[in-house]
Structure 1
Amino acid sequence: MTQNQLVVDGRTVAEVVVADTALTRARGLLFRRVLPEALLLTPCSSVHGAWMRVPLDVALLTADLRVAHAQVLSPWAVTRPRRGVTQVLEAPVGSFERWGLRADSQVALGAA
């Protein structure tokens, strides 16, 4: 896993951990005592909340890192796959509201 700065609509908002291997994507946020500020799963088209104890903010992203859909994912819920989604951004609930992230926001990664 690598760490970068997360940029939303031109503003740096958090540090993001990038899970870009099968193992790091499979682990995701499961069984973590402390959640990172954000986690980017790539490639990934949908996520589930199985075994999660808390709700999460989840954004489904297109290849150009545009937000196709954002939602709060409850424990044991599943996101519905959407056409064109290639990556998923997860964060502690309330993060997206603080960052101003919503459908059609542009996300980018900056150097750590």
Structure 2
Amino acid sequence: MKEYGRTIPYKINAANSFIKRLKGLMFRKEPLVDEGLWITPCNSIHMCFMRFSIDAVFISKEGKIVRIVEDLQPWKMVKPVQGAHSVLELPSGAVHSLSLKVGDFIKL
């Protein structure tokens, strides 16, 4: 039995349709504050047309963090992450403040 010991204390919006995944956070003017975007299914992201940086947490189907990219800047990209089924986009600095680590299990 897996334990999901970590929760994210932010409002998490789901991007689980083609259009929502395609749009993501593009063109949003204000940076994330106490909120996140969970994109599923997804194993890579781009920061085209973004106006602020984010922390990206790549998660397996089982809820295990398989990769973390902190302070991902606009116009950068993350190539496909092996084992990732979804990505949680959080405010820049959230990974550090929440002490998230690869191998942690989280529940969304």
TM-score normalised according to structure 1 size: 0.82
Which residue matches 1:9? Answer: 5
The amino acid that maps onto 1:96 is V
Q: Aligned residues, how many?
A: 102
In structure 1, C-alpha distance between the alignment counterparts of 2:53 and 2:6, rounded to whole Å: 26
In structure 2, C-alpha distance between the alignment counterparts of 1:92 and 1:13, rounded to whole Å: 12
In structure 2, C-alpha distance between the alignment counterparts of 1:46 and 1:62, rounded to whole Å: 12
Deviations 1:34-80 (CA, angstroms, capped at 9, x unpaired):
43611100001100111112111001111111110001211111112
CA positional deviation for 1:9:
3.3
Q: Specify every segment of 5 or more residues in structure 1 that has no aligned partner in the other structure, as ranges.
A: 1-7
Equivalent residue runs for 1:18-57 within 5 Å:
18-34=14-30, 35=32, 37-57=35-55
Which runs of at least 4 in structure 1 moved beyond 3 Å after TM superposition? Answer: 8-12
Q: Secondary structure at the match of 2:86?
A: strand
**CA separation of 1:74 and 1:25: change in aligned 2, threshold 3 A:** same
Q: Specify every segment of 5 or more residues in structure 2 that has no aligned partner in the other structure, as ranges.
A: none
CA positional deviation for 1:103:
1.1
TM-score normalised according to structure 2 size: 0.85
- Find out whether 1:82 has 2:81 as its counterpart: yes
In structure 1, C-alpha distance between the alignment counterparts of 2:47 and 2:8, rounded to whole Å: 27
Does the 8 Å CA contact 2:40/2:87 hold for their aligned counterparts? yes
The amino acid that maps onto 1:14 is Y
In structure 2, C-alpha distance between the alignment counterparts of 1:9 and 1:47, rounded to whole Å: 26
